[in-house]
Structure formats: C-alpha cells, structure tokens
Amino acid sequence: MWFFDALSSGFTRPTDPGRLQMFRIIFGTVLTTRFALALGQGGWDRFVPGSLSLRLAEHRLGPRRSRLLAAAYRPALLIRTAAALALALGAAPRLALLVTLAGAAMELLYLKSPNAVRYTLLTGACLGLAGDLGHGVHIEHTPSAANTWALCLLVLITTDVYWNSAWQKIRSDQFRSGLYLAQWVHTYTQVRQHLPHRRGQYAVPAVVLHRLGNLTDRDVRLWRLIAAVVITAELALPIALLIPQTTPYAVAAGVAMHAAFSCLKPRQLITFSGLTTGTYVAFSA
Amino acid sequence: MPESMLPAAQIVITIALVAWMITGFTPLPGRWLRWKMFCRATFTIVQLTGTKDGHTEPVNVYDHLSPGSFILGPPQLQTVLDHLTASGRYDRIDGIGRVLSARGEQPVKVVASRVVL
C-alpha cells in the first residue's frame, strides 16, 4: 500500500501531486459553501445589541474582547468567503488558505461544538504543509515527493476521525443502545414545528419519522441495529479505503454513510461530510 | 533548513501527531482529536408560557438555539429563560415538558422562570 511505502521511505516516495491539488479545490469549494451559508439564517445578525449570542460572548470573552469580535465579525464573514473562493480557484492559494483558516478559527470563539471547525483547521494545516498546492484549477499529475507527507497526514487525520468517533460511540451507552438516535428522531418529530430556519436544516424522510420516531421498544431496537452498522462502518472505512481492491466499495459506502448522516442536519454537516469524503482522494493511490 | 533535516522534521511531527491522537482514546483531558459527535445528548421537549404585565403568550425556546440544532439540556434551557427575563421581555415564564437523556425520560417543570427537575 502506498501509505506504508511512503511512511517507510520517510515521505520521499513520489506520489501524484494532483491528489492533494484536487483536495485543495474540494476544500476551497466546501468552505466557500459553508461561509456563504453562514451569512444567512440569522448568521449576519449574530452579535447585534441585545442578542443572546452577544450576551454569551460577553460572558465567555469579557466585555472588551466581545466588542472587538462583534466589530470584526461582519467584515470577517465577507473576507473569509472571498478567500475560500480564491483557494478553490487557485488564486494565490497559500495566502487564501491562511485567510480561510483564520476565518474558520474565528468560529471557535462562539460555536458550541466546533468539531467541524477543528477538522477544517487540521485538514487545512495539511494543505499548508504541502509542497505543491498547484495554481488555478489545473491539476498536475507528474509524480513527485512534494505532497507525499501532506497526503499521509490527511490519511492519518481522517482515520483518527473515524476511529475515535467510533470509540466515543462504543463508550456511550446512550448511542450503543440505540437510545440516542431514537431520542433524536423522536424529539425532532415533537419540536419541528417550532424550529426556526427549517429550510435546508433537516431532511429526515417522512417514513423514518412515522415508523421510527415514536420511542417505542421496537424503534429503539431498530436504532440499536443502525448504531452497530455505523460503528462497524467507521472502524472498517479507513482500512478499506487504503486497500486498492476495496477502495471503490469503501468510497461508495462512505459517501452513502455521510449522505445518511446529512439527512439529520444537511446544512450543518456540509463541512464535515464534504471534507471527509474529500480526503478520500488522499487515500486512493 | 538543510535538505536532510526536512524528512527528520516531518517524521518527528508525524510521530507527535500520532501520539496526540492516541491521547484521544484515553481519559486524558483535551478537546482536540476527541470526535464526540452524535454520541451523547440531553433533549428537552417543553411548552412554555411567558407573562408580561399580566398578559400571557406562548414562548418558543427553540427560536433561541443555533440554527440546525435542537439539543437542549436543562442548564441551557435555564440560560435562555434567564436571557428572556433579564432582557425584560417577560416577567416570568412557566411550563411543563420532558427531558430525554441516557437515563431515559424524566418530567420537567418550569416554575417562575426556574427549571425544576
């Protein structure tokens, strides 16, 4: 497997630099989408005077720093969107990458569970460590060692996401028993009429809500089965992606799994699903 | 950096990254490389009524959560109640509901803007 060859050669083994350049384009596209969507659904009005978000920021950062954040917030939303687009198009990619990552890091100051931001920063750092990001939307295929290390780091990070996330799920009785998923869907059926900004935020098929949204013992048992499938898939995917014979099946299974997750919160999972499936280009030699 | 130093630096950084990843599988404290997604949560399904100058109206607590999320535990519910009363929007908020968590289902009440389990 190229990954272990690359490791044992001390990252001097030539690889196709286009794989990382492809990831640069996917990364830029996903982040452009995330940043553009962050302008809507109340995002532009975050930190307006009297809002709960401003109160929480004051509580967390103190009055002076929260004022700075509120003042820089709207310009930063616009600048980072332009930077992510420039990164996708390959215009001054290193500078664009730095501004994109700074714009993503800003969300660490106010998001409650910033896992997507952390994953963005880690995979973005891999891009920053690559020797050849390419220019424009042209992809270079002449083998070189320029991107070998960065590809290996991307593989390590996505493998960690899958395995650690499986580990956290295994350790959670609530998830393993099926209760978490059953309660999630049940709560959704009960409160969805009251949720703001519903457009694009949820895409749970009606049949799932009707058949699996009632928190009965049967529902919980079915969700327990689905929980076991998710844990198994997360454990198997990184290995299956690296073995050339199983790569196409693993890609199909991974995309299907992320599509299913995305039904729960499509808009919020664009970054995570887009970037994880984007790193598949780093796995496949 | 001389050419020969580069692979060495790359190897050291890679080993450090893997070591950091391994801590994510241990009880050691830390937030990064611990991917707790979709694995634990407390949900609250609650109907609330707000009173202002003797008039009452329904209060939609879910309006105050981040778009795309409805995970809400009693402490977060209390934060929203405090915000709605401290800002003067309501004199008091009351209601009933239920909390779903790893422990199953529990009733919850909101009495005079306080969450009571």
ipTM of the complex: 0.88
Give the residue from A142, A159, A183 where a domain finishes: A142
Task: Please tell me whether residues A219 and A285 are part of one structural domain.
Answer: yes
Residues of B in contact with A7 (CB under 8 A): 14
CA nearest to B46 within chain A:
A191
A79-99 pLDDT, tens digit per residue, is 999 999 999 999 999 999 999
Contact B43 A194 (CB under 8 A): no
User: Could you give phi then psi for residue A140, rounded to 5 degrees?
Assistant: -95, 130
Least Cα separation, residue B54 to chain A (angstroms): 24
Cα Rg of chain B (Å, integer): 23
Q: Does A39 touch chain B (CB under 8 A)?
A: no
Residues of A in contact with B67 (CB under 8 A): 41-43, 196-197, 201, 267
CA nearest to B60 within chain A:
A194
A22, pLDDT greater than 90: yes
d(CA B13, CA B20): 10
Residue ranges making up the domain that contains A109:
17-142
B9-26 pLDDT, tens digit per residue, is 999 999 999 999 999 999
> Beta-strand (E) ranges in A2-48?
none
Mean pLDDT, residues A20-41: 95
Least Cα separation, residue A183 to chain B (angstroms): 7
Residues of A in contact with B31 (CB under 8 A): 118
Length of chain A, in residues: 285
* CB atoms near residue A27 (< 10 Å): 26
Which class for A10: exposed (0-12), middle (13-18), buried (19 or more C-beta within 10 A)? middle
Contact B36 A168 (CB under 8 A): yes
d(CA B25, CA B20): 10
Give the residue from A106, A123, A142 where a domain finishes: A142
Mean pLDDT, residues B78-98: 94
Give the residue from A142, A170, A196 where a domain finishes: A142
CA nearest to A162 within chain B:
B35
Establish, for the pair of chains A and B, how many residue pairs have beta carbons separated by less than 8 Å: 120
The share of chain A scoring above pLDDT 70, in percent, equals: 100
Cα Rg of chain A (Å, integer): 21
A193-247 pLDDT, tens digit per residue, is 888 877 767 888 888 888 888 899 999 999 999 999 999 999 999 999 999 999 9
A139-174 pLDDT, tens digit per residue, is 989 999 999 999 999 999 999 999 999 999 999 999
Contact B24 A161 (CB under 8 A): no
Task: Please tell me whether residues A281 and A158 are part of one structural domain.
Answer: yes
B1, pLDDT greater than 60: no
* Between B5 and A95, the higher pLDDT residue: A95
* Between B67 and A232, the higher pLDDT residue: A232
Contact A168 B34 (CB under 8 A): yes
Which of B36, B44, B77, B80 is the mutation pick for testing A, counting most A CBs within 10 A?
Answer: B36
A12, pLDDT greater than 80: yes
What is the rounded average pLDDT for all residues in chain B?
Answer: 91
Task: Please tell me whether residues A191 and A82 are part of one structural domain.
Answer: no
d(CA A234, CA A166): 6
Confidence of residue B5 (pLDDT cuts 50, 70, 90): low
The share of chain A scoring above pLDDT 90, in percent, equals: 77
User: Could you give phi then psi for residue A60, rounded to 5 degrees?
Assistant: -85, -40
Report which of B105, B6, B66 is spatially closest to residue A53, judged by C-alpha positions.
B66
Task: Please tell me whether residues A41 and A121 are part of one structural domain.
Answer: yes
Mean pLDDT, residues B62-67: 84
A18, pLDDT greater than 90: yes
| CB-nearest partner of B70 from A169, A171, A188 | A188
Task: Please tell me whether residues A153 and A120 are part of one structural domain.
Answer: no
Q: Does A68 touch chain B (CB under 8 A)?
A: no
Confidence of residue B3 (pLDDT cuts 50, 70, 90): low
Which of B26, B47, B70 is the mutation pick for testing A, counting most A CBs within 10 A?
Answer: B70
B2, pLDDT greater than 60: no
Task: Please tell me whether residues A185 and A231 are part of one structural domain.
Answer: yes
Task: Please tell me whether residues A166 and A116 are part of one structural domain.
Answer: no
Task: Please tell me whether residues A178 and A265 are part of one structural domain.
Answer: yes
Task: Please tell me whether residues A203 and A120 are part of one structural domain.
Answer: no
Residues of B in contact with A172 (CB under 8 A): 39-40, 102
Mean pLDDT, residues A29-43: 93
A48, pLDDT greater than 50: yes
Contact B62 A180 (CB under 8 A): no
| Structure-block tokens of residue A110 | 């106010």
The reported pTM is: 0.89
Which of A191, A216, A270 is the mutation pick for testing B, counting most B CBs within 10 A?
Answer: A191
- In which residue are the tokens 């915000």 written? B83
Task: Please tell me whether residues A284 and A261 are part of one structural domain.
Answer: yes
Contact B66 A186 (CB under 8 A): no
User: What pLDDT score does A267 carry?
Assistant: 82
Q: Does A26 touch chain B (CB under 8 A)?
A: no
d(CA B86, CA B93): 12
Confidence of residue B66 (pLDDT cuts 50, 70, 90): confident
Domains of chain A: total: 2
Contact B69 A50 (CB under 8 A): no
Do B115 and B65 form a contact (C-beta atoms < 8 A)?
no
